[in-house]
Amino acid sequence: MWIERDYTNKIKEAVKTRPVVLLTGVRQAGKSSLLQRLFTDAEYVTLDRILLAEEAEENPTFFLNRFKNQVIIDEIQYAPSLFRDLKIIVDENRNIKGKWILTGSQQFILMQHVTESLAGRVRILNLGTLSARELNRTNLLKNKRDLLWKGGFPELWAEKLDAKEFYEDYIQTYLERDLKQILNVTNLRDFRRFLSLLAIRVGQLLNYSEISKEVGVAVNTIKAWVNALDVSGLIILLPPYYNNLGKRLIKAPKLYFCDNGLVCALLNIDSLDTLERSLHLGNIWENFVLSEHVKEGFVAGKDIFFFRDTNGVEIDFIIEKKGELFLVEAKHSERPNPAKLNFKKIAPLFKEKVSSIVACGVEEKGRIALKDFFLYNPLNGSIL
């Protein structure tokens, strides 16, 4: 079953205006399937095939010159030598738009070569896993709260796969094929424990030293592992908002995952019942709220932040949109207790127009306007 993606129009527009379009995102987000569906006449090659990757890397000019018309080159990070030759070809034919459509999963390799070789020539788009809005358009989501533990990987829903098996295969494949090679991980057991410790810390401040002690590896190793997960898109490091608000603010980032399914798999949560009884339910809901905004195009450190001062006064998310600030609290209950919300303490600190919103389990669709704040449920497919 095909699930329509909201990114379709962005991709089509990019192909009309840029010589090169690069679609990034975590493995199994549906990048190559979406592109092949949108551009049925384009030639398709994947550098997952070892011989093709070797040819592209060792003889990039010969490899690229074989394509006379539009082409989709999948997993281009396996042949970084292509970028320099692609720049030369593009500069010789700057009037040709959308011929080169690329995908890549390992953004930590990709971005260095893209910024060095294709600056000003490429439109970079990031495809996330399925959002609540995308799944709500199908008949697959019988209980909306299942999205909280199953996550949004397209194949899992379209093929009606067993979630526990899917994520176990996903984690093992990612460890053995990608991160093990890039980071020279020698002890997969340590790395798997590291991932589980990150899942436990979703929505919390990132403390490298603490994780280092629990895993039993050096702090610099933990930093390298975290950085690889961050730039690959598997985790999100949310920075604090401290613009002109003084020095009494926390400056460490908060940790989230790109998809709730990964978090729950690492926490051995494999059903809605297990999730509802979990001590991590509140943090998992918070992770879901953030990931939905990221899937809508908000970028951590550019559009979305968190706020916490040294006294522990906190707002989960501060979102900047069209000159307005949205203070967002993530509460999984249907009717949050107003006494536990910090809007009145924090809103007066800002000069900009401020709206206070609670992302909660309210059943009604759309925004519900109360006296001091709005309510909305991101499971219904709506955000700001």
- Partnered with residue 45 across adjacent β-strands are 73
Helix (H, G, I), strand (E, B) or coil at 20: strand
- Helix, strand, coil share of the chain (percent; to 5): 45, 20, 40
Q: What is the rounded average pLDDT of the residues 330-350? A: 86
* Mean pLDDT confidence for 288-295: 95
Mean pLDDT in residue range 276-296: 96
Looking at per-residue pLDDT, the higher value among 338 and 303 belongs to 303
| Whole-angstrom distance, CA of residue 360 vs CA of residue 289 | 9
Positive or negative CA dihedral for 358, 236, 113, 15? negative
359-364 long-range contacts, Cβ below 8 Å, gap at least 24? Answer: 359/289, 359/328, 359/329, 359/330, 359/331, 360/330, 360/331, 360/332, 360/333, 360/334, 360/335, 360/336, 361/331, 361/332, 361/333, 361/334, 362/334, 362/335, 363/334
Q: 98 with 16: CB under 8 angstroms?
A: yes
Beta bridge partners of 328: 317, 357
- Average pLDDT, stretch 16-35? 94
Q: What token pair was written down for 75?
A: 């997993």
β 71-74/100-104 pair status: parallel
pLDDT at 78 over 60: yes
Please report the pLDDT score of residue 74 as a whole number. Answer: 95
Q: pLDDT band at 327, cuts 50/70/90?
A: very high
| Dist. CA 278–CA 295, nearest whole Å | 25
13, pLDDT greater than 60: yes
Residue 246 scores a pLDDT above 70: no
The pLDDT, as a whole number, for residue 251 is 80
* pTM as predicted: 0.92
Render pLDDT for 139-196 as a digit per residue (tens, 0 to 9): 999 999 999 999 999 999 999 999 999 999 998 887 666 776 667 677 778 888 999 9
CA distances from 190 to 83, 170, 212, 331 (A): 35, 18, 10, 33
Q: Which one has a higher pLDDT value, 131 or 48?
A: 131
Q: pLDDT class for 109, splitting at 50, 70, 90? A: low
How far is it, in rounded angstroms, from Cα 113 to Cα 100?
Answer: 16
Q: Per-residue pLDDT averaged across 254-272, rounded?
A: 96
pLDDT value at 360 more than 70: yes
- pLDDT digit string, tens, across residues 182-210: 676 777 788 889 999 999 999 999 999 99
Residue 65: pLDDT band with limits 50, 70, 90: very high
- Is 231 in contact with 108 (CB distance < 8 Å)? yes
Whether residue 108 has pLDDT greater than 60: no
pLDDT at 33 exceeding the cut of 90: yes
Domains of the chain: 8-126 (3.40.50.300), 132-380 (no CATH)
Joined tokens for residue 347: 């809103």
Q: Report how far apart, in Å, the C-alpha atoms of 251 and of each of 224, 226, 246, 307 are.
A: 19, 17, 12, 9
Residue 334 has pLDDT above 60, yes or no: yes
Find how far residue 266's CA is from the centre of its chain.
17
The pLDDT-based confidence of 248 (bands split at 50, 70, 90) is low
The CB-side HSE value for 73 (13 A sphere, CA atoms) comes to 27
Name the band, by pLDDT with cuts 50, 70 and 90, for residue 309: confident
Which residues are registered as beta bridge partners of 118?
none
Q: What is the mean pLDDT of residues 245-266?
A: 85
Decide if pLDDT at 66 tops 80: yes
Assess whether pLDDT exceeds 60 at residue 31: yes
